[in-house]
Amino acid sequence: MDFVSVIERKKRGEELTNEEIRAFAGGAADGSVKDYQLAALLMAIRLNGMTDRETRDLTLAMAESGDMLDPDVGGVPVDKHSTGGVGDTTTLILAPLVAACGGKVLKMSGRGLGHTGGTIDKMESIPGMRVTMPEEEFVRTVREIGCCVVGQSAQLAPADKRLYALRDVTATVDSVPLIASSILSKKFASGARAIVLDVKTGSGALMPTEEDSIALAGAMVRIGALSGRKITAVISGMEEPLGSHVGNALEVKEAIDVLSRRCPEDLPLTRVALYLGAHMLTLSGVAKDLDCARAMLLEKLRDGSGLNKLREMIVRQGGDPRVCDDTALLGTAPVVREILCPADAYLCATDCTRLGYAAQRMGAGRASKEDVIDLRVGFVMKKRIGDFCRRGESLCAVHAADEASALRAEREILEALTFADEKCPPSRLIWDVVDENGVRRIGEDRQI
């Protein structure tokens, strides 16, 4: 097939045929199409979009570019995926909690993309942790202990693996059809039958507006319905980092702190993890409704079963389980610097994307796909939107590789924060739920 003509047609905004889309995915998977040609088509798709039919065809073509698992895990294989956030460590909290409740969490996660962190990068801060394994072992682990979180194997959706890396460095991340097909191709290939999507909205999200987030969620729900998968999408806020810790080892530490109950249960990170986990349990048939599911998750959090399940998963994946008792084993940065509040004021807004890029420039993320991450670095926010900050009080602790990096991060973090004399409301956590019945707006209450 003349791939230049395919690029030309999409550049003009024309609808591609299934054959052309399969040539695109196949060329990405087998290397027959060059990076620069793939990048050109990615940009044409980003600028001109795709129809639902094109997006469905691209999803299936990428899923079928490699192995398609049909796993027997002793229950409904359930997965959760976030569109990407800052300080979002929900996977490492909810996967063991859902598994402790009897769910079967078959999870393939990605690496950092743009200003957002990646679960696989975070997991590599655990000494010895394997984030790749043979498909048979992956399925067996889920069947036997209830959860396994690995990176995308070369055999599963290889087209997406190559395109995912290219999107990160070609400014084509924020495209509804590319996001939808990337997420769902991995889920379909890995054998997930029930999928909960965490679609972020706000200053730190790929989709900054609620309208755009609902559009992405709706596209994925429709693709799922056409493909025989149960999909529910939760629109959650990303106006500030979800957790207080930003950076790979730091975020793993916070997840362990949550499961160890060293954090209050009303912590925003914990609340969102429980809400998403409740949808996973109901969608996969383990719980009859969200209230029942939430009660099950809280029980497993409070009795230590979730932490024990994380420890069990770490052992099965070759990691050092002692990190669950001593988070210092995750590693520490050489320089820790406190950022002090410049005046008495309320924190009223954050530019969450700028905060994410501040962490990236410290070495916690990648500017290009070849970059090597420093797993130790990042920062810990001490204040959230709506909090009062006294002059000289610590706003944030920067964990850096050297003094120069710490000073640069301090400047960039302060530039990302907005203060006011009057108190402002806290940022919103859960906005909407999108499923086959449509869009349902969610009010903030104690159950979230």
Catalytic position from the list 186, 300, 311, 383: 186
Residue type, 135: E
Whether 160 is a known active-site residue: answer yes
- The DSSP output letter for 425 is P
* Cα–Cα dist 315/271, whole Å: 27
Catalytic position from the list 125, 182, 236, 405: 182
Whether 245 is a known active-site residue: answer no
* Cα–Cα dist 413/396, whole Å: 9
In order, the DSSP letters of 29-96 are: HHS-S-HHHHHHHHHHHHHH---HHHHHHHHHHHHTTS-------SS-EEEEEES--SS--HHHHHHH
Whether 279 is a known active-site residue: answer no
Whether 70 is a known active-site residue: answer no
Label residue 1 exposed, middle or buried (CB < 10 Å: 0-12, 13-18, 19+).
Answer: middle
Catalytic position from the list 79, 121, 160, 432: 160
Whether 427 is a known active-site residue: answer no
* Cα–Cα dist 444/428, whole Å: 7
Catalytic position from the list 22, 56, 81, 187: 81
Closest CA to 62 of 104, 28, 25: 25
Catalytic position from the list 167, 187, 230, 316: 167
Residues facing residue 400 across a β-bridge: 335
CB under 8 Å to 173, separation ≥6 — which residues?
A: 113, 114, 167, 179, 206
* Cα–Cα dist 137/316, whole Å: 10
Q: Which residues are catalytic?
A: 81, 160, 167, 182, 186
